[in-house]
Structure 1
Amino acid sequence: MKNFITLLFLVSGILLHAQTQEQNKKLDSLFDRIDAKDLAMGSISIFSNGKEAYTRSIGYLDLANQTPANSNTAYRIGSVTKTFTAVVIMQLIEEGKLEAGTRLSAYFPQVPNSDKITVEHLLRHQSGLFNITDDEDFRQWMLSPQSREAMLKRMLKNGTLFMPAEKTEYSNTNYLLLSYIAEGIEVKRYAEIVKQRIIDKLALKNTFYGGKIVPEKNQARSYAHTENGWELTPETDMSVPIGAGAMVSTPADLNKFYWNLFEGNLLSRASLDKMKTIEDGMGIGLMKLPLEEYEVYGHGGGIDGFSSVVVHFPQEKITAAFTSNGSFYQIHNLLIGTLKIIMGQDYELPETSPTIELQPEALEKYLGTYSSPDLPMKINIYREDLTLIAKATGQSPIHLNAVGEDIFKEEQLMLKLTFFPAEDKMLLEQGGQKAELRRE
């Protein structure tokens, strides 16, 4: 019997190894196609039970010097930073240094509605505070160092959009304020707090608070895809986003962070459960992502030309992260394809619907900001040359293809937008779900 059990485990191990090899071949094939068509640059890592099972890098961290990206190349991760900030705040709450119900007025009484806004409202994007990165002059000041006083002044200028807890609407302002609160409690800079509480504890060797990008230190520059190919993008000064988007990391480090978070090595089970509790589509530093029958949590981010996404499957013990410094092909598409391969599902790059080329003036009637009381984010529709683009608050832009009169699609995301210009509305369809949005 003992020999039989040993043989059974041996055979199971061989089969599992063969299955993993086959999956890795499919993953290589997927990324080979993306790389060959020059659709994206970046790195991916997949963990199974806390150990890396697959890694791949494509493209360059520095195009000018033709320096290839590698598994230790560090990328700005944008709003994935919010998971780090949420963990810090939840730790402070566990330690009795802060309460979820603490009013913002205890720290920043000058902010509108501060006597009604709680820490939990900030964590869940329910404060009603204007998203500071939507400031009309944002692109003029985002490249220069900013003081806390200057940032607060802009928050006061833009005011509020709704009463606290009235609804959920993504706003970077919330996590900026949470950063300032943590700094006030700990009497340390945000960078030091995250280093002490998360980075050092988990030995994340390639994760740090961002600064001026140094390619010679294996830090990626970011690029935008244009008619002339990849073009270098300007660098946001990291004094601007702080805990809303200033961290730099690698896919492997992000996987390690998420794995330890969900294994209870950073927070109590009760705190993690609270982070996972979804209200109006939003958790605390986490979102629950729609992927067929699976339970999956994660967060995405975008800053300058960088995009990132990290997800964790608690039941399957799978964690996956992708960081990009240039993409003409949505990284969410890559992640969906990757996850389907991991889960043993059939996956091929789908054939796209025949597209229609429209002139710039024909796209003008669709432009504007659309919102719905049923969605936590607004969607900005704008154009770049002959391409219509959709950008949800805090998310990466999505390039749309015209497939019919007033109909646009992004096949990989299973996204369909139907416009009704005369009625100032738009129908969003994705993954079997529908939502009607009105133009503001």
Structure 2
Amino acid sequence: MIKTKWSRRCLMALVSVALAVMPLTAHAASVDQRLRRMLRDNQVNGIVLVNGTAGRAHVISHREVTDRKQMVRANRLFPVASFQKLMTGVTVEQLVQSGKLSLNTPLSRFFPQIPLADQVTIDRMMKHTSGLVNQPRPLKRPLRGERAQLRYALTGCRSTGDFTWHYTDLDFILLAAVIQQTTHQAYRSYLSHQVLQPAGVHVCFYDQVKRSAVTPAVGGDWANLYLAMSPELGAGDIFCTPQDYWRFYNRVLLNDPALLDRFLTHKGKQGAETYFGGTYIEPPYLHVNGYLAGYSCTLYSNYQQKRTIMLFANNLSYAQLRAINSQLYHAYFGDYREEQATINAD
């Protein structure tokens, strides 16, 4: 009799677990199907990463090319372009958190030669409201090293005095230089050893990899990619695997409540979209885009639910990436979102 009761209880428990898991499994399968269809319908040669089990990414892949070398893989190096800005922004915010830097620190502390630098703060550069613009001379050959990168940026640096929203790589190039001077280390050394490696994240800088280690863009050219990456200190001069970027995003930012809260203090009023430290903030979502020389990546993340979707592709134009974004968002989160035309940077 005792064994019968025990068996019944076990059976009921197993049935309850099965009933609880089945809808989730069905939902996950449905999401997979929608994402695969979206990739196929848009002829995306790339991969999507979404939340899997045990904090790992679940990878959905679609191939549009016959050359397997051009397949985007989760564990192969990819030029993440402006995705790097968030790494730079996180590093700056960690220095602020530790008291080594302030968002109110003026740029004149580091570069007094830049006009109006006393009015340009770290906060304004993190929000792209610095009034700085970059007008560099044409680049004929790749730059070598951080000194050359910074020197090139400074020769084209102009200060307008217009402290409204204006997206420019220059803000994050100069933030990388601020990290250099604040830590008395090379930007790449501090980022790698103090921010990324403790989280198990590995990146390679543009002059540290061989062509064979990188997934080629469909119709792309390695020389043009290398040239385009070389001036992007702190703003797009790294290669990172999609899996490693997933680890960075989740381990370093999303799962650090104190750091995430510091980013969210800059969110706009009544759901208005703002930008801070490399990410767009539109509660309850964060969003990042990256595009360079035929490589594109984008992510959307519900920071309350800790759910994230990332796309990495090597055959899209920037216009195609923007067109796909809303489909990607809808397929995973189940609701529609239109890109806001303006940024509330207050």
Fold shared per TM-score above 0.5: yes
Secondary structure of 1:326's counterpart equals coil
Whether the aligned pair in 1 keeps the contact of 2:143 and 2:149 (CA below 8 Å) is: no
Secondary structure of 1:307's counterpart equals strand
Give the aligned residue type for 1:314: Y
Quote the residue 1:340 is aligned against. Answer: 330
Quote the residue 1:162 is aligned against. Answer: 161
Quote the residue 2:235 is aligned against. Answer: 244
Q: Partners in 2 of 1:162 and 1:253 — Cα distance?
A: 38
Residue of structure 2 aligned with 1:300, choices 280, 286, 289: 289
Whether the aligned pair in 1 keeps the contact of 2:149 and 2:231 (CA below 8 Å) is: no
Alpha-carbon distance, 1:195 to partner: 1.2
Whether the aligned pair in 2 keeps the contact of 1:255 and 1:320 (CA below 8 Å) is: no
Which structure is higher in helix share? Answer: 2
Quote the residue 1:119 is aligned against. Answer: 122
Whether the aligned pair in 2 keeps the contact of 1:23 and 1:341 (CA below 8 Å) is: yes
The answer to whether structure 1 residue 286 and structure 2 residue 270 are counterparts is no
Quote the residue 1:331 is aligned against. Answer: 321
Alpha-carbon distance, 1:89 to partner: 0.5
Q: Partners in 2 of 1:144 and 1:178 — Cα distance?
A: 19
Paired residues for 1:89-104 under 5 Å:
89-104=92-107
Q: Partners in 2 of 1:26 and 1:153 — Cα distance?
A: 45
Quote the residue 1:221 is aligned against. Answer: 216
The answer to whether structure 1 residue 263 and structure 2 residue 255 are counterparts is yes
Q: Partners in 2 of 1:74 and 1:147 — Cα distance?
A: 21
Alpha-carbon distance, 1:152 to partner: 4.0
Secondary structure of 1:102's counterpart equals coil
Paired residues for 1:29-428 under 5 Å:
29-35=37-43, 40-47=44-51, 50-59=55-64, 66-130=69-133, 132=134, 135=136, 137-138=137-138, 140-141=139-140, 143-145=142-144, 148=147, 151-152=150-151, 155=154, 157-163=156-162, 166-205=163-202, 207-211=203-207, 214-217=210-213, 219-223=214-218, 230-232=219-221, 234-237=224-227, 238-260=229-251, 261-264=253-256, 267-274=258-265, 276=267, 281-288=274-281, 295-328=284-317, 330-344=320-334
Give the aligned residue type for 1:43: I
The answer to whether structure 1 residue 7 and structure 2 residue 15 are counterparts is yes
Query: CA deviation digits over 1:372-430, x for unaligned, max 9?
Result: xxxxxxxxxxxxxxxxxxxxxxxxxxxxxxxxxxxxxxxxx9xxxxxxxxxxxxxxxx6
Secondary structure of 2:159's counterpart equals coil
The answer for unaligned runs of 5 or more in structure 1 is 224-229, 347-412, 414-429, 436-440
Q: Partners in 2 of 1:280 and 1:259 — Cα distance?
A: 21
Which structure is higher in strand share? Answer: 1
Whether the aligned pair in 2 keeps the contact of 1:182 and 1:190 (CA below 8 Å) is: yes
Kindly tell me: are residues 345 and 48 of structure 1, through their superposed partners in 2, closer, same or farther at Cα, counting changes over 3 Å?
A: farther
Q: Partners in 2 of 1:122 and 1:79 — Cα distance?
A: 15
Q: Partners in 2 of 1:299 and 1:20 — Cα distance?
A: 24
Secondary structure of 2:89's counterpart equals helix
Query: CA deviation digits over 1:59-115, x for unaligned, max 9?
Result: 56x96x845332212211111111000110011111111111111111111111112
TM-score, normalised with respect to structure 2: 0.81
Give the aligned residue type for 2:217: S
Q: Partners in 2 of 1:66 and 1:156 — Cα distance?
A: 39
Alpha-carbon distance, 1:11 to partner: 0.8
Kindly tell me: are residues 204 and 158 of structure 1, through their superposed partners in 2, closer, same or farther at Cα, counting changes over 3 Å?
A: closer
Aligned length: 327
Alpha-carbon distance, 1:147 to partner: 5.8
Q: CA RMSD in A?
A: 3.2
Query: CA deviation digits over 1:156-179, x for unaligned, max 9?
Result: 55421224xx31211211111110
Secondary structure of 2:115's counterpart equals coil
Quote the residue 1:356 is aligned against. Answer: none
Whether the aligned pair in 2 keeps the contact of 1:298 and 1:310 (CA below 8 Å) is: yes
Q: Partners in 2 of 1:252 and 1:150 — Cα distance?
A: 28
Give the aligned residue type for 1:330: Q
Kindly tell me: are residues 276 and 221 of structure 1, through their superposed partners in 2, closer, same or farther at Cα, counting changes over 3 Å?
A: farther
Alpha-carbon distance, 1:343 to partner: 3.0
Quote the residue 2:4 is aligned against. Answer: none
Quote the residue 1:25 is aligned against. Answer: 33
Query: CA deviation digits over 1:344-379, x for unaligned, max 9?
Result: 469xxxxxxxxxxxxxxxxxxxxxxxxxxxxxxxxx
The answer for unaligned runs of 5 or more in structure 2 is 1-7
State the percentage of identical aligned residues. Answer: 17
Q: Partners in 1 of 2:276 and 2:156 — Cα distance?
A: 28
Kindly tell me: are residues 245 and 67 of structure 1, through their superposed partners in 2, closer, same or farther at Cα, counting changes over 3 Å?
A: closer
Alpha-carbon distance, 1:47 to partner: 1.6
Query: CA deviation digits over 1:215-257, x for unaligned, max 9?
Result: 432x12234xxxxxx3536124444111111122233332332
TM-score, normalised with respect to structure 1: 0.65
Structure number with the bigger relative contact order (C-alpha 8 A, sep ≥ 6) is 2
